[in-house]
Structure 1
Amino acid sequence: MLMNDGELEADQRWLFLIHQLPTKPAYFRVKIWRRLQGIGAIAIKSTVYALPANAETQEDFEWVLKEIIDGGGEAVVCEARLIDGLSDAQVRALFDTARDADFAEIAKEARDLAAELDTKPTAENRADARSQLVRMRKRLAELVAIDFFGATGRLTIEGLLANLEARVTEDEVMSNVPSEAAEPIAEFKGRIWVTRRGVHVDRIACSWLIRRFIDPDANIRFVPGKGYVPKPGEIRFDMFEGEITHEGDRCSFEVLLISTGMTDPALQAIAEIVHDIDLKDGKFGREETTGIASLIAGIVMTNADDEKRIGQSASIFDNLYQYFRQQRG
C-alpha cells in the first residue's frame, strides 16, 4: 500500500518480524528468505525484518510467521515506533533503495532489448521481445505491490516498457471454448461461513464467490482471527486451521474453487488475480492485477465495516467475471 509523506511523518509505526530458523534443512532458510523478499520486507538485523504497519502487511507477516513455526522455527511479530538509532526516514530510504535497485535491473533489460530491436528488427526478434515484455511486466507488477513509498525508479520503467510495447504490439486471437460454472457441492449450501475481521482481497473474493455462486443467502460472520472456537455447522475460510484456507502456494479463493468443484475458466482467471494480490509472488502476472489491487485497497481504506467492503467490491468482481466470460466468447 503506497504511503505518502504525510502518513510517514504522522507517528509512523512499523511491524517487525523477529525470528530464528532451524539449521536444517537448508532449503527452508532460502524459502523463508524468498517469502520475505516477496512481501517487500527489509532486514533491519539478520533476524529482524520490517514492514510499514497496516492490516495487509500484518497479514503478510502472520502467514510467514506460520510458515516459520510449522517448519520448526521460532518467530514473533510486533508493532513498534522507532525512537532512537534508526529514524523513520532512514528506514523508508532502505525500502526505496531496495525497490530502486529492482527497478534498475528491469530498466537495464528493457534498454538492452530496445537496442537489440534497433540492431535486428526481425520478426523473430519481435516475437522474442513480446515474451520478454510479458516477463518484465510480471516482475514490475510484483514490485509495484511492495513499493510502499513510491520509489522514483518506477516511472522510468513504465516509460521504457510502454515504448517497447508500442514497437512489438500485435493483435491477439482468443480461441478458448466457453465453459459454464459447475454446480457447487451440495454440502456447502445453507452453511454458516466464518472468517477473520478486517477482510482484504482473499476474504473479500471468497465472500463474493460464496454469495454469487454457492449460496446467495449465505450468512457470513466476522470473528477474531485468534482464539475463535467454531460452532457445529460452521465453515471457516481464510483462517488458521480453517476448513477452507491457504494450502501450499494456493490462496483461500483457489482452495474454495477446488473444494466446490467449480471449473469455470472466468473464475480461474479471477483466482489468478486474487492469488497474485494476496501472496505477492507474481505467479500468474495478469495485466489486470495491479488495477484490481488498487481498487480493492481503496475500498478497504475507506470502509472499516467488513460487510461494506464486501458489498462495494462485489461489483468489481461481477464486472471482472463478465469481462473474462466475454473475452473467452
Structure 2
Amino acid sequence: MSQQSKNWLLLIHQIPPKPNALRVKIWRRLQQVGAVAIKQSVYVMPCSEQSHEDLSWTLKEIVAGGGDGSIGDVRFVAGLTDEQVIALFQTARQTDYQKIVQDANTLLTDWSTGEIDPQDPAVKGAAQVSKLQRRFDEVAAIDFFQAPERGTAEILIQDLTARLSGQSSNESAAMHTLDGLRGKTWVTRKNLFVDRIACGWLVRRFVDPSAVFKFVDADTHAPEPDQIRFDMFDGEYTHEGDRCTFEVMIQRFGLQDRGLTHLAEVIHDIDLKDTRYDRAETAGLNALLTGLAASQPDDDQRMTLGMHLVENLYAYFQRQKGKQAS
C-alpha cells in the first residue's frame, strides 16, 4: 500500500436495460456530481460527506427505477493505484476546462483586435464572461484533485473580467533586470503542467541556475518577501491577453532567441489549446508531459523531469537553427 493510500467511495450498480431513459439519467447524474467510472457500472468518488450524499441520492434513483446497487468505503491495495484513480478525475476535468479555455481564447482574440469593444452593450461582453464563469464554477466544484488546466481557465476568465472593467493588464509592468531576480523563491500552483514547467526551465536556464521553487495552493497562499509568483492570478508573471506565462516571461526578460521562439509556440499551443502555431513537435511534447503528470504526482520530481524534456526540445530547435544557418 502506497504512502498516499486513501479511502474511496464506490458505487456498484445494475440498471435494467429498459427503459433507456433511466440509464441516461443516472449517467448524467454521475457526471454532474463528478464521479468517474473505473469499470462498467462501477463509479468512484473521493471519500467525503458530500460524495456520500451524492452517491446515496443516485442509488435511491437507481432502486426507484427498478435497479439495485451498493456503496462501499474502500482502499485499493492491489491493481488500481490511488495515482491512477486521481489521473482519471484529472482527465475528466481536463476536457471540461479545455472547452472553457477555447471559448475564453476566442473572446480574448476578438477583443484584442481593437475592432470589438467589450464594454459596448451590444457586444454583451458581461453576459459572455458571466456564462464562462458559471461554467468554470460548476467544473471547479467537482475538480477534486486540481486538474492542471484549471489555472489556465481561471486566469483567462480573470483577464476577460479585467478587460470588461477597463483595467490594463500586466503588460504595462516594467521590464525586470535579470540580476534583480536572482536569489528569489519562485512560487506557483501545485500540480504542475506545461506552462509552469516551461517557466521553471526558463528561470533555471536563463535567470538563476540555483532558483528555488515552491508549489502552493493558489487560493490560500499569501505572498512573502523575496518570492516571485508565476502562472498565478495576481502573480508577477502570468498570462497576458492571448499569451501564456512562458511567452510573457521571455518578453519581459528581454530574451531574443529563435530557439526560444519556436519553443514558445509549442508551449502556447499546448497550454492555450488554440492551435495557433500548429508545430509538428507540439503533439509529442504534450504526450510526454501528460504521461509525466499521470505517472509522477510529486511536483518537485515533475518539475525536474519536465525540465529535461523542455531542455531537449530547446536543444533540438537550436540544432535546427544551426542547420538552417549553414
**Structure 2 partner of 1:206:** 199
The whole-number CA distance in structure 2 between the counterparts of 1:281 and 1:257 is 20
Question: Greater RCO between the two (CA within 8 Å, min separation 6)?
Answer: 1
Q: Which amino acid aligns with 1:11?
A: V
Given the alignment, which residue of 260, 271, 275 partners 2:253? 260
**Structure 2 partner of 1:304:** 297
The whole-number CA distance in structure 2 between the counterparts of 1:247 and 1:185 is 20
Matches within 5 A, 1:111-260: 185-260=178-253
Specify the SS of the correspondent of 2:125. Answer: helix
TM-score by length of 1: 0.53
**Structure 2 partner of 1:58:** 150
The whole-number CA distance in structure 2 between the counterparts of 1:57 and 1:7 is 25
Specify the SS of the correspondent of 1:11. Answer: strand
Specify the SS of the correspondent of 1:312. Answer: helix
- The answer to whether 1:269 aligns with 2:302 is no
Q: Which amino acid aligns with 2:155?
A: W
The whole-number CA distance in structure 2 between the counterparts of 1:315 and 1:274 is 15
Q: Over aligned residues, Cα RMSD in angstroms? A: 3.7
Matches within 5 A, 1:98-109: none
Specify the SS of the correspondent of 2:288. Answer: helix
- The answer to whether 1:319 aligns with 2:312 is yes
Given the alignment, which residue of 36, 40, 44 partners 1:11? 44
Aligned residues: 206
**Structure 2 partner of 1:171:** none
Q: Which amino acid aligns with 2:123?
A: A
Quote how far apart the aligned CAs of 1:287 are. 1.1
Quote how far apart the aligned CAs of 1:213 are. 1.8
Task: String of CA shifts for 1:29-81, please: whole Å, max 9, x gaps.
Answer: 79759x97xxxxxx99xx997699560343344234424543559xxxxxxxx
Task: String of CA shifts for 1:220-256, please: whole Å, max 9, x gaps.
Answer: 1112112322112211111110111111111111111
The whole-number CA distance in structure 1 between the counterparts of 2:138 and 2:219 is 23
CA change 1:199–1:246 in 2 (3 A) is: same
TM-score by length of 2: 0.54
Q: Which amino acid aligns with 2:184?
A: R
Q: Which has the larger radius of gyration?
A: 2
Gaps of 5+ in 1: 37-42, 74-183
Q: Which amino acid aligns with 1:55?
A: A
The whole-number CA distance in structure 2 between the counterparts of 1:7 and 1:325 is 46
**Structure 1 partner of 2:113:** none
Matches within 5 A, 1:30-45: none
Contact 2:195 2:271 in 1 (8 A): yes
Contact 1:32 1:64 in 2 (8 A): no
The whole-number CA distance in structure 2 between the counterparts of 1:245 and 1:49 is 24
Quote how far apart the aligned CAs of 1:190 are. 1.7
CA change 1:326–1:72 in 2 (3 A) is: closer
Specify the SS of the correspondent of 1:227. Answer: coil
Q: Which amino acid aligns with 1:239?
A: M
CA change 1:59–1:192 in 2 (3 A) is: closer
CA change 1:258–1:60 in 2 (3 A) is: closer
Contact 2:159 2:240 in 1 (8 A): no
Q: Which amino acid aligns with 1:191?
A: K
- The answer to whether 1:295 aligns with 2:295 is no
Percent identical pairs in the alignment equals 36
The whole-number CA distance in structure 2 between the counterparts of 1:221 and 1:309 is 13
Contact 2:189 2:218 in 1 (8 A): yes
The whole-number CA distance in structure 2 between the counterparts of 1:204 and 1:274 is 10
